[in-house]
Amino acid sequence: MNKASKIYIAGHRGMVGSAVWRALEQLGYTNLIGRTSTELDLRNQEAVAQFFKKEQPEIVVDAAARVGGILANQKDQYGFLMENMRIQNNLIQESVTQGVDKFIFLGSSCIYPKMAPQPLKEEYLLTGPLEPTNEGYAIAKISGVKLCQALREQKGKYFVSLMPTNLYGPNDNFDLESSHVMPAMMRKFHEAKINGNTPVKLWGSGTPLREFLHVDDMAKAVVFALENELPGHLYNVGTGVDLSIKELALLIQKIVGHEGELLWDADKPDGTPRKLMDVSQLKSLGWEATIPLEEGIRKTYDWFRKN
């Protein structure tokens, strides 16, 4: 790659895409392109084909996806499966057709079996049943990983799949109906605090263990995969450290400054009991996370209040 390489970031307004854009810009990359969903509907095969023919990107980062928490996924498995497959299939197909040099496909740790041994290794893919609450999203992402692997093996293409753990940071989704656990908690504690420290009720038992990675660290992993020729097709991206949902809630409560009661709704689903990533493969090649969790949450809460 050189600093003038034409890099298309799909989903450049989202949390991950915007972080990748910032990271590349800070390093002096000058030829970044992006389109909003109103300018280019990635689910539309013909529109994506026309865009690639016109723009001829050399490098593509696929940070575009329909994402959501347990509630959103449970409500619309069909939509999550179909829309994500359309988006990634169009991007992958046109990248092949137009001779893109490098393609980074971003997924999620939910591609691994629900009861896989911990920490999750890349080789555990397709060794058991998935978590039912987000099966649609996971199957879509698994198909993307397999497409990239096949292209690498059949055509010698540099298509790499990066599977992040739970991400958080600026430009996250804080909508209570469709957000992930951390932004949902942050908003609940914030609103309860400004409403006189009213009680906060959270889903589940608080016992599941989760790992969290700041999106700026994720962006650095994407840049690392672009600037280096990684030998494998699939890499986990995370911190290798987890904590319970209850510990997370207490940490966010402290940072937000909420002084009310914390209640747990045990009738709501917990999701997977534990999802810790084995990040030894990427670490052995020279990348590791640098932003501590408490510092990352404080930065995110500052961003949330300003925005």
Q: Which helix (H) or strand (E) holds 93?
A: helix 77-97
233 belongs to an annotated ligand binding site: no
The radius of gyration of the chain's CA atoms, rounded to the nearest angstrom, is 19
Contact 195, 138 (CB under 8 A): no
- What residues form DSSP beta bridges with 172? none
User: Residue 54 burial (CB < 10 Å; 0-12/13-18/19+)?
Assistant: exposed
Our answer to whether residue 124 is catalytic in this structure is no
Distance (Å, rounded) from C-alpha 307 to C-alpha 258? Answer: 19
Q: Is 265 annotated as a binding residue?
A: no
> Is 164 flagged in the annotation as binding?
yes
Does 12 show up as a binding residue in the annotation?
yes
Residue 210 marked in a binding site: yes
Q: Is 109 annotated as a binding residue?
A: yes
Does the annotation flag 270 for ligand binding?
yes
Cβ atoms 10, 37 nearer than 8 A:
no
**Annotated active-site residue in 8, 29, 112, 137:** 137
DSSP characters for 225-282?
A: HHHS--SSSEEEES-S--EEHHHHHHHHHHHHT--S-EEEETTS----SEE-B--HHH
Q: Is 280 annotated as a binding residue?
A: no
Q: Is 34 annotated as a binding residue?
A: no
Whether residue 152 is annotated as binding a ligand: the answer is no
* CA atoms in the 13 A half-sphere facing the CB of 79: 8
Is 275 part of any known ligand binding site? no
| Residue 296 marked in a binding site | no
73 marked among binding-site residues: no
Identify the CA nearest to 94 among candidates 56, 66, 68, 125. Answer: 56
230 is in an annotated binding site: no
Which two three-digit tokens encode residue 144? 């993307």
End-to-end CA distance of the chain: 34
305 labelled binding-site residue: no
Nearby residues of 50 by Cβ (< 8 Å), 6 or more positions away: none
* 216 known ligand binder: no
Residue 17, annotated ligand binder? yes
Determine which helix (DSSP H) or strand (DSSP E) holds 77, and give its type and residue range. Answer: helix 77-97
SS3 199: coil
Cα 107 from chain centroid? 6
Q: Could you tell me which residues are annotated as the binding site for NADP(+)?
A: 11-17, 106-109, 141, 164-167, 180
> Any idea which residues carry the catalytic annotation?
137
Q: Which residues are annotated as a binding site for substrate?
A: 188, 203, 210, 270
Annotated binding site: 11-17, 106-109, 141, 164-167, 180, 188, 203, 210, 270
